[in-house]
Amino acid sequence: MKSYAHSKRCVLNFYTALEQANLKSVKSILSSHLAPDFHWYGVYPFNERDGPEAVAEAFWVPFLNSWTSVQRRQDIFLAGTSEIDDTDWVISMGHLMGLLDKDWLGMKASRKLAFLRYADFFCVQERQLVQGAFFCDLIGVMHQLGISPLPLQTGASFVYPGPRTHSGLLFEDQDAGESKKTLDLVNRMMADLSALNISGDDLPPPEYLARTWHEDMTWYGPAGIGATYTIPRYQEQHQYPFRTGLQGKCFNGHLCRFAEGNYAGFFGWPNLTNTAVGGFLGLPASDRAADMRVVDIYRREGDKLAENWVLIDLPWWLKQQGIDILKRTEQIIAPEKFYQLS
């Protein structure tokens, strides 16, 4: 059985160093742990970057300038070989917790505790981190600050927990047979979704999802959509609004997809392309097809999926349609930066 101990240790050593980072040291820490030609997929407004210094300047320096006493609180940690291209990857998911002491991305400092929900993907080659993807839920931070940049969401908004079983930190290698069961199940679930796209059936019955999901499944969606619980409420509060509000759904594939033990994860860049026809996120129709960058992380229980954590780069999806929610929020909160006011 292949071991991923060295890959996991590379990421954990990087995280340990980052815990001690400050504005002066963060660039050197990234340069010590990331390959010189490290390629990074960052959600909007951080975007794709090449090289450790560019990643530091895009995200870590502004983040550490605004957030203090930062802690990483991991809920899920796993590693495996991607079935897309046989490269080795590590996934970490959880929250970056800290005090929001200075304005950040147009959001006013609260001087209070805040949580930034995140998912990290790292490709490891020869004990070096050579690629990475960073997804985070910026709308979730807005909600914690009392900012609602979108209409009323269909699901619930809160700081999401980790797995119900508290079993998500896979620091040790897991049974390869269990990993295969999980990945096979995720692929069957994806095949069911693809069949719906082909058929045009946007309102499948609960029994269709029950082929691969537990009845009491929990779906933790991005802020703006929210979380939901049980198959019927998931369909009411996400699947049906998503499927009926978006047309021309095209699956573009994943850059990474693997499983370890009872957990699996993937991301795409972009996963999907679709066109809003009205209703999704409470917004009107658009004539522009837009790309969706998505992370999905799953927990299998027995022969079905029990929990699913999802991050979608909604600010990017909206920006392609002419709506920059970060800029608009800053214009409302700090209009003096944009207008000559009397």
One digit per residue, pLDDT tens: the chain, 342 residues?
Answer: 899 999 999 999 999 999 999 999 999 999 999 999 999 999 999 999 999 999 999 999 999 999 999 999 999 999 999 999 999 999 999 999 999 999 999 999 999 999 999 999 999 999 899 999 999 999 999 999 999 999 999 999 999 999 999 999 999 999 999 999 999 999 999 999 999 988 989 999 999 999 999 999 999 999 999 999 999 999 999 999 999 999 999 999 999 999 999 999 999 999 999 999 998 999 999 989 999 999 999 999 999 999 999 999 999 999 999 999 999 999 988 888 888 887
Cite the residue boundaries of each domain of the chain with CATH code 3.10.450.50.
5-144, 176-328
Q: In what order do the strands lie in the sheet with 272-276?
A: 246-251, 272-276, 289-292
- Dist CA 43 CA 295 (whole Å): 11
- Dist CA 319 CA 12 (whole Å): 34
Fold classification of 5-144 (topology level): Nuclear Transport Factor 2; Chain: A, (3.10.450)
* Residue-level pLDDT at 335: 84
* Residue-level pLDDT at 336: 84
Residues ≥6 apart with Cβ < 8 Å to 220: 160, 227, 307, 308, 309, 310
Give pTM, 2 decimals. 0.97
Instruction: Look up the CATH number of domain 176-328.
Output: 3.10.450.50
* Residue-level pLDDT at 106: 94
What's the half-sphere exposure (Cβ side, CA atoms, 13 Å) at 285? Answer: 5
| Residue 6, both tokens | 């060295």
Residues ≥6 apart with Cβ < 8 Å to 124: 6, 7, 10, 11, 79, 88, 89, 90, 130
